Structure 1
Amino acid sequence: MFPLLFEPIRIGTLESRNRILMPSLGTLFSMDQKLNERHYRFYERRAEGGAGVIVAGPVGVDFLGAGAICLSLRDDAYIPDFRHLADRVHGKGAKLMVQLFHGGRYTFSFFIDGQQALAPSAVKSRYTGETPREMTLEEIEQVQDAFAQAARRAREAGIDGVEIIGSAGYLISQFLSPVTNKRTDAYGGSFENRARFAIETIRKVRAAVGDDYTVTMRVPGNDFVAGGNTNDDIARFCQLFEQAGIDAFNVTGGWHEAFVSQLTMEVPRGGYAYLAGGIRRAVKVPVIASNRITDPFTAERILKEGFADMVALGRVLVADPDWPTKAREGRPEEIRPCVGCMQGCMDRIFTGQPLCCLVNAEAGLEGERRIPKAARPKKVMVVGSGAGGMEAARVAALAGHEVDLYEKAPRLGGQLRIAGAPPGRKEFLSLVEYYEAALARAGVRIHSGVAVDVESVRRIAPDVVIVAEGAEPIVPAIPGIDLPHVITSWELLAKDPPLGRRVAVIGGGAVGLETALQVAKIGTINAETLEFLMFNRAETDEKLHELLRRGSKEVTVFEMLSRVGQDVGKSSRWVLMQELKERNVRIVTDARVEAIEPDGIRYVQQGEAKREPFDTVIVAVGSKAVRRLSDELAAAGIPHKTVGDCNAPRKIIDAVHEGYLAALDL
C-alpha cells in the first residue's frame, strides 16, 4: 500500500528498516539531565511500533547551552544510561541516534543558574526576552569541542549516530543568520564566515567519531524570520556541510520566533515538504522531510514526488506509536491521528510539564497506563459521544466489557464536530472518524438518535453507567439576547446561518476568537481560484494577498477582560492572534455589553457608555456543564461515573483522559 515508505535506506553507516524517522522532541520526563525509566519506555514503545530510526533528545553538549531541561552527554558518567537506552531501542528493531543540542540565545537564564546565555552576538532574544553574551573565540572552541566529545560518548554508548541541531533558531542557526550574527571576525559577516562555526563543529565531530559513523544535521528549510536565511541560502549552507562530513539532512521549518506557524493544525498536511525538496536538489546525501506529515498517504506522496528520501514523524508517533505497523500492514484507517492541537505536547512543555497527548492517554506514561483485560466483564452503558464518551466506550470494549454507546444526536462526535467546523480546524473531524472506526472494530453497539433518561437506564439495567453529557453554550441575561439576529457560536458552527455584513462577537475567549476568524474568512478567495490567478499572473501579489485576507464581513470582538484569548495555549495563541490581525478583525477589550438592539449593541468601556451598529450578533461567552442525567441518576440512587465537560467545561484533552481512566476503573 505504501511501498516507498517501507523500503530500507542507508544513512552513512546506519541502515534503517524503513523511511520513518522519529525526530527529537522535548519531553521534560526529567529535570536532572538524566535518562530514566519513563524515557526508556517512551522510546522503546515507538521502536516497538515500527519506527526505523529514533532520534532521542535534545541532548545538551554543555550546561550553558541546555541547562537542566535537556538530557546530557557532557560527561562520561552519562554513557551507561544511554547504552541502556540503545539496548532497549535495538531490542525492538529500530536504530537509535541522539540530537546534540546547544540553545545559544534561546537558553533561559533560570535554566542555567541565572547565568547569561551565550550566542554569536549580543542580540536580544524574542523567545526568552533576554540578551545573551557574545562568545569569545575561546568559548567558540570550547563549545565545538563539547559537540565532539558528546558525539564520542554517543558512539561509546552503542548509539548508531548523532544529529547536530542547526535548526529552529538554536546556536548554529544563530551563527548562520545575519539577523543574529553581527560579528566582525572570522565567524561573522560573509556567507562563508557565518558558516565557519558549523563547518568546524562538523569536522570536529567527524574527527571524534571517525568516518565509519553516522553524523546528520537538522536544518531549517527557511528561517521564516525577516532578514534571515531563505531556502536557497540553507541549500548553499548544506552543500558546505555535506563537504564537511554530514551524511543526511533533516529539514524542518523555521525558527521558534518565525512569523508563520510550523506545527499547528493550520499548517496543511505535508505543507513544508517543499523545503526539503529545495535542499534535496542541492545535495547528494539523503534528505528527511518534517512538519505535519500526519498520515501515510501524505508520507508516501512526499517520497514519490521526490521531495525527500525519508519522513520525520514526531508528534504523530506520540499520538500513535503503532503508526508504522498499521501503515505497513495496510490498516491506515486504524491510525490514531495527531490533530496538531499542541495541548499535550508544546503547551505543556512551555508551562514546565512533561509531555502527554490529547488523543493518546498513554503517551509519556507507557508501562504505567495500559488496558488490561477485565477479570469479570461488565455490561457498560455510555451516554454521550463526545471525545470523553467515545474514549470511555473504546477503552471499556478493549478491556473486554460489553459496551453500548448512546447519543441523542443523529451522528457521533458531540462537540468535536463543532470544534472541527471552522476552516483550518478540520483535524478534529479526523478524530471523530478514527473513533467511529475504532468503536466498530471494538464491537461497541451504537445507538444514535436516542435520548437517555433515568427510566431507560433502569430498563436497560447496565452494571455501569458512564455519563458524558458534555456542555451547552452560556446565554447571558443581556436585554435583546432573544432578538432574531442574535445567535450562539454553536449555532453558527452547526447550522451555518446567513449573516449580515457587520458582525459582533461577544466573548474573546478561544471560542469567540475562532468564531470571529471563521466569520472573517467568509467571502475570501478559494484555493482553486487562487491557483488559477497565480499561475496565469492575472493579479499582483499584493492583490492576491488582499483577496486571501479580506472577506465580505466586518467583524468586531467584544471582551470584558483586558486581554483576549487567555484560555488559548501558548503555542497556538500567537498564530490565532496574528491571523485575526491579518484579517482585520477588530478587538475591543474592557467592554461590558449592556444591551443588544435590533440594529446594534450598547456597551460600557472603562466607564464610558458607547453604541455601535451591527447586523448580526454572535454570543460566544463560554459554556456550562450539562448534568441533567447525572443529577437524575444521583437523585435516584443509581451509581454512575461522569467524564468530560459535564464535570466542568475544559479542553478536549481533559475529556479524553477522563474517559480513558473511567473505563479502566470499572
Structure 2
Amino acid sequence: FKDAGFNMVMIHGGHGNLISQFSSPLYNKRTDGYGGSLENRARFTIEVLDKVREMCGDDFVIEMRISADEINPEGMHFDETLKYIDLIKDKLDILHVSAGLHGEVKYMRNWWQNYMMDRMYNVHYAADVKKAFPNLKVATVGSIMNIRMAEEIIASGKADFVAMCRPLLADPEMPRKYALGHEDDHCPCLRCQYCGQRLMIPAVINCAVNPYLGNEREFPDGRVKKADKKKKVAVVGGGPAGVVAMLTLVDRGHDVTLYEMTDKVGGLIVPGSVHSFKQDFRDYLDYLQRQTKKANARVLLNTEVTKDILDKEKYDALIIAVGARPITPNLPGINKPHVHWAADACSGEAMIKGKVAIIGAGAVGVECAIDLKQHGHDVSLIEMAPNMDHLSISASGASYELKELIGELKIPLHLNCRLDEVKDKSVICTNVRTAEKVEFEADMVLLAIGMASKLDVVDSLRHSAPETEVFVVGDAVKPGLIGHAVMSGFKAAAYI
C-alpha cells in the first residue's frame, strides 16, 4: 500500500474476520501459543501490527477496526476488549471501534443497523474506550447519519474521528453540502439495507435513494446529461418514483409538470413514516418535499389526472407513477364500516376502537401492530403463512427487531389463518393447516394483505402521449420497495 502511494491503512480486526477469529474465544480453540489466554489470542494481532510497522515505518498511519463487543454469548465482550486494547494500543495510530459479528443477523445488526435501531448506535463504546485510553486516537462508526451528528460526537470528546458508509452512499456530496450551508439538500440514508441486499445476490451495489450508485458507467459524472431537445413532460403521481423522475427531468432541462392527487408529495412514504420508529423515512419524506418545492417544475397538488387533462396539454412524453392501492379481498363483511386499511389507522384516518385484528403480518401489518400496542391498544395479528420468514422481504434486516417486539409486547400472532368473513364483533378464519374454522374477537379489522398496481389508471392514461414516449414506473408496474421505485423513475426520466 505504501509503495502504491497510500499514507495509511485500516486493518480489519473485528466482525469475525481472520484477525478477530484469533482474538475471540468464540472462534479460537487452539491449544498452542496462539490460543487460550487473552495474551496468546492477541499474539496474531500483535504480529500483524508489528510487521506492518516494520515494513511501512513510523510515517505510515495504521488504523485498526475492532468489535468492542461481539454480542455472541461465547464471544469477546467489552471488559475483555479493554484488556485487549491495552495490549495493542502502542502498535497502532487509530483504533476504529465497531461491534458485532458477521454471520447471524442478531450479531450483524450491531455493525449494520436498520431503521428500527438507535442512531449513533456504537458511539457509546468509542466514548468508553476514549475514557479508558485518553491518549489513544479513537474512531467511531454506526448509524452516524450526517455531519451534524459527527461534529457533536467529536466536539463532546466521545471520539476523535467519525466513519460513515451508507450515508455517503446515499449522498456522496453530503459533507460538501453541510460545509456550504446546503444541508437541507442532503439526501438521507434510510437504513433500509437495500445496499446490503444487493451484495447478497451478489450484484452491483445500489442505493434505494441514490440511483447513480452502481450506474457509474452510464453516468460517470454522477449526473444526467442535458437533453438534446427540451420537451414538455408530464409526471403523474408524486410518490418517490414520480418525484425522482420529476427532479431528474428538471436536471435534464425539460419543461415538467408533476400531478399529485393528494395535498402532498411522498406517496406511500407518507403513511409509512408515521410510526415513532420510522424517523429515517420521515427524514426522506421531508427531503422529497423540500426538493419538490425547490424544483423548477409546475407542481399541481390535489389534482386527479384524467385523459382529457393530459390530452389538452399535448405532452411530448409522459411518466405514469400512480402507484398501488391496498388489496381488499372479496369476502363477506369486508365492506363493514369497522374495516380499514392498516396504514389509515396509524395515520389517524380511522379511529381506533376496542379489540383490533390486523390481517396480514408483513411490514405494514407488523409495524401497525407494534405502533398500536405501544399506544395501549388491544391488537392481534392474523397471518396465513406458517411462520414469519416472509417478513424479511418487506422489512429486510429490521425483521429481526420487528419479530422481537411482537414477542416483547406480547402481541398475539395467529399463523396459518386465512380470513374468510368479517362480522360485527369478530372475524372468521380457516386454519389452512387443519382446515378448521376459528373465530377471533375484533371490534375493528385492519387490512394489510398487500398492494395491487393501479393498472386501470395506467391503462386510462397511457395513450395521452406518443406510445414510445410513455413510461410506467414504480409501484404502478409492480408493488415493491422504495429502491425499485426510485430507480425506475430515474431511469425513465434520464433518457427522455
- Is 1:391 paired with 2:238? no
Checking the alignment, whether the CA contact within 8 Å between 1:347 and 1:571 is kept in structure 2 is no
Aligned to 1:21: none
Aligned to 1:650: 480
Out of 123, 126, 129, the residue aligned to residue 279 of structure 1 is 129
Report the 3-state secondary structure (helix = DSSP H, G, I; strand = E; otherwise coil) of the residue aligned with 2:63: strand
- Is 1:155 paired with 2:2? yes
Aligned to 1:452: 305
Checking the alignment, whether the CA contact within 8 Å between 1:519 and 1:555 is kept in structure 2 is no
Displacement of 1:618 in angstroms is: 1.3
Aligned to 2:441: 613
Report the 3-state secondary structure (helix = DSSP H, G, I; strand = E; otherwise coil) of the residue aligned with 2:335: coil
1:350 alignment partner AA = M
Structure 1 CA distance for aligned equivalents of residues 380 and 464 of structure 2: 48
Out of 218, 223, 227, the residue aligned to residue 70 of structure 2 is 223
Structure 2 CA distance for aligned equivalents of residues 186 and 499 of structure 1: 65
Checking the alignment, whether the CA contact within 8 Å between 1:513 and 1:557 is kept in structure 2 is no
Checking the alignment, whether the CA contact within 8 Å between 2:193 and 2:396 is kept in structure 1 is no
Displacement of 1:554 in angstroms is: 4.0
Displacement of 1:514 in angstroms is: 2.4
1:294 alignment partner AA = M
Checking the alignment, whether the CA contact within 8 Å between 1:641 and 1:662 is kept in structure 2 is yes
- Is 1:659 paired with 2:484? no
- Return closer, same or farther for 1:611/1:184 CA change in 2, 3 Å cut-off: same
Out of 28, 33, 42, the residue aligned to residue 186 of structure 1 is 33
Displacement of 1:182 in angstroms is: 3.4
Checking the alignment, whether the CA contact within 8 Å between 2:34 and 2:40 is kept in structure 1 is yes
Displacement of 1:603 in angstroms is: 1.4
Structure 1 CA distance for aligned equivalents of residues 301 and 453 of structure 2: 21
Out of 98, 104, 123, the residue aligned to residue 252 of structure 1 is 98
- Is 1:238 paired with 2:85? yes
Structure 1 CA distance for aligned equivalents of residues 197 and 395 of structure 2: 6
Structure 2 CA distance for aligned equivalents of residues 403 and 169 of structure 1: 51
Displacement of 1:562 in angstroms is: 5.0
Higher mean C-alpha deviation, range 254-263 or range 164-173: 254-263
Displacement of 1:637 in angstroms is: 6.8
Structure 2 CA distance for aligned equivalents of residues 554 and 511 of structure 1: 14
Alpha-carbon displacement from aligned partner over 1:141-193 (angstroms, at most 9, x marks no partner): xxxxxxxxxxxxx2222222221111112223233333333334333333323
- Is 1:584 paired with 2:430? no
Checking the alignment, whether the CA contact within 8 Å between 1:508 and 1:558 is kept in structure 2 is yes
Alpha-carbon displacement from aligned partner over 1:268-299 (angstroms, at most 9, x marks no partner): 22232111111222332321110111122111
- Return closer, same or farther for 1:554/1:637 CA change in 2, 3 Å cut-off: closer
Structure 1 CA distance for aligned equivalents of residues 401 and 14 of structure 2: 20
- Return closer, same or farther for 1:186/1:637 CA change in 2, 3 Å cut-off: closer
- Return closer, same or farther for 1:636/1:320 CA change in 2, 3 Å cut-off: closer
Structure 2 CA distance for aligned equivalents of residues 589 and 663 of structure 1: 43
Structure 1 CA distance for aligned equivalents of residues 25 and 453 of structure 2: 52
Structure 2 CA distance for aligned equivalents of residues 374 and 518 of structure 1: 46
Out of 416, 419, 431, the residue aligned to residue 593 of structure 1 is 419
Aligned to 2:141: 290
- Return closer, same or farther for 1:496/1:305 CA change in 2, 3 Å cut-off: farther
1:203 alignment partner AA = D
- Return closer, same or farther for 1:373/1:357 CA change in 2, 3 Å cut-off: same
Report the 3-state secondary structure (helix = DSSP H, G, I; strand = E; otherwise coil) of the residue aligned with 2:394: coil
Displacement of 1:496 in angstroms is: 5.5
Checking the alignment, whether the CA contact within 8 Å between 2:247 and 2:292 is kept in structure 1 is yes
Checking the alignment, whether the CA contact within 8 Å between 1:266 and 1:425 is kept in structure 2 is yes
Displacement of 1:638 in angstroms is: 5.5
Aligned to 1:439: 292
Alpha-carbon displacement from aligned partner over 1:464-488 (angstroms, at most 9, x marks no partner): 2211111110011121212233221
Greater relative CO (CA pairs within 8 A, separation 6+): 2
Aligned to 2:179: 328
Checking the alignment, whether the CA contact within 8 Å between 1:231 and 1:278 is kept in structure 2 is no
Q: How does 1:85-124 map to 2 (within 5 A)?
A: none
2:441 alignment partner AA = P
1:311 alignment partner AA = V
Structure 2 runs not aligned, ≥5 long: none
Displacement of 1:381 in angstroms is: 1.5
Structure 1 CA distance for aligned equivalents of residues 63 and 28 of structure 2: 23
Structure 1 CA distance for aligned equivalents of residues 292 and 181 of structure 2: 19
Report the 3-state secondary structure (helix = DSSP H, G, I; strand = E; otherwise coil) of the residue aligned with 1:155: coil
Checking the alignment, whether the CA contact within 8 Å between 2:360 and 2:382 is kept in structure 1 is yes
Structure 2 CA distance for aligned equivalents of residues 633 and 497 of structure 1: 31
Structure 1 CA distance for aligned equivalents of residues 27 and 410 of structure 2: 31
Displacement of 1:636 in angstroms is: 6.0
Aligned to 1:557: 382
Aligned to 1:514: 367
Out of 461, 465, 472, the residue aligned to residue 633 of structure 1 is 461
- Is 1:174 paired with 2:21? yes
Checking the alignment, whether the CA contact within 8 Å between 2:358 and 2:379 is kept in structure 1 is no
Checking the alignment, whether the CA contact within 8 Å between 1:236 and 1:282 is kept in structure 2 is no
Aligned to 1:201: 48
Aligned to 2:212: 362
1:200 alignment partner AA = E
- Return closer, same or farther for 1:298/1:199 CA change in 2, 3 Å cut-off: same
Structure 2 CA distance for aligned equivalents of residues 193 and 498 of structure 1: 63
Displacement of 1:522 in angstroms is: 2.1
- Return closer, same or farther for 1:420/1:610 CA change in 2, 3 Å cut-off: same
Displacement of 1:331 in angstroms is: 1.1
- Return closer, same or farther for 1:348/1:637 CA change in 2, 3 Å cut-off: closer
Alpha-carbon displacement from aligned partner over 1:331-365 (angstroms, at most 9, x marks no partner): 1111111111111x111112222211001111022
Q: How does 1:476-487 map to 2 (within 5 A)?
A: 476-487=329-340
Displacement of 1:516 in angstroms is: 2.4
1:632 alignment partner AA = S
Higher mean C-alpha deviation, range 252-261 or range 575-584: 252-261
Out of 388, 403, 419, the residue aligned to residue 272 of structure 2 is 419
TM-score with structure 2 setting the length: 0.91
Report the 3-state secondary structure (helix = DSSP H, G, I; strand = E; otherwise coil) of the residue aligned with 1:325: helix
Structure 2 CA distance for aligned equivalents of residues 258 and 566 of structure 1: 11
- Return closer, same or farther for 1:569/1:503 CA change in 2, 3 Å cut-off: closer
Q: How does 1:533-552 map to 2 (within 5 A)?
A: 552=377
| Backbone CA RMSD of aligned residues | 2.1
Higher mean C-alpha deviation, range 602-611 or range 571-580: 571-580
- Return closer, same or farther for 1:487/1:302 CA change in 2, 3 Å cut-off: same
Displacement of 1:561 in angstroms is: 5.2
- Is 1:350 paired with 2:200? yes
Report the 3-state secondary structure (helix = DSSP H, G, I; strand = E; otherwise coil) of the residue aligned with 2:65: strand
2:199 alignment partner AA = I
Structure 1 CA distance for aligned equivalents of residues 456 and 82 of structure 2: 61
Q: How does 1:118-157 map to 2 (within 5 A)?
A: 154-157=1-4
Report the 3-state secondary structure (helix = DSSP H, G, I; strand = E; otherwise coil) of the residue aligned with 1:431: helix
Displacement of 1:651 in angstroms is: 1.2
Report the 3-state secondary structure (helix = DSSP H, G, I; strand = E; otherwise coil) of the residue aligned with 1:568: helix
Displacement of 1:519 in angstroms is: 2.4
Displacement of 1:570 in angstroms is: 4.8
User: Aligned pair count?
Assistant: 483
Displacement of 1:204 in angstroms is: 2.2
Structure 1 CA distance for aligned equivalents of residues 477 and 73 of structure 2: 46
Report the 3-state secondary structure (helix = DSSP H, G, I; strand = E; otherwise coil) of the residue aligned with 2:2: helix
Report the 3-state secondary structure (helix = DSSP H, G, I; strand = E; otherwise coil) of the residue aligned with 2:452: strand
1:155 alignment partner AA = K
Structure 1 runs not aligned, ≥5 long: 1-153, 524-551
Structure 2 CA distance for aligned equivalents of residues 403 and 235 of structure 1: 58
- Return closer, same or farther for 1:561/1:638 CA change in 2, 3 Å cut-off: farther
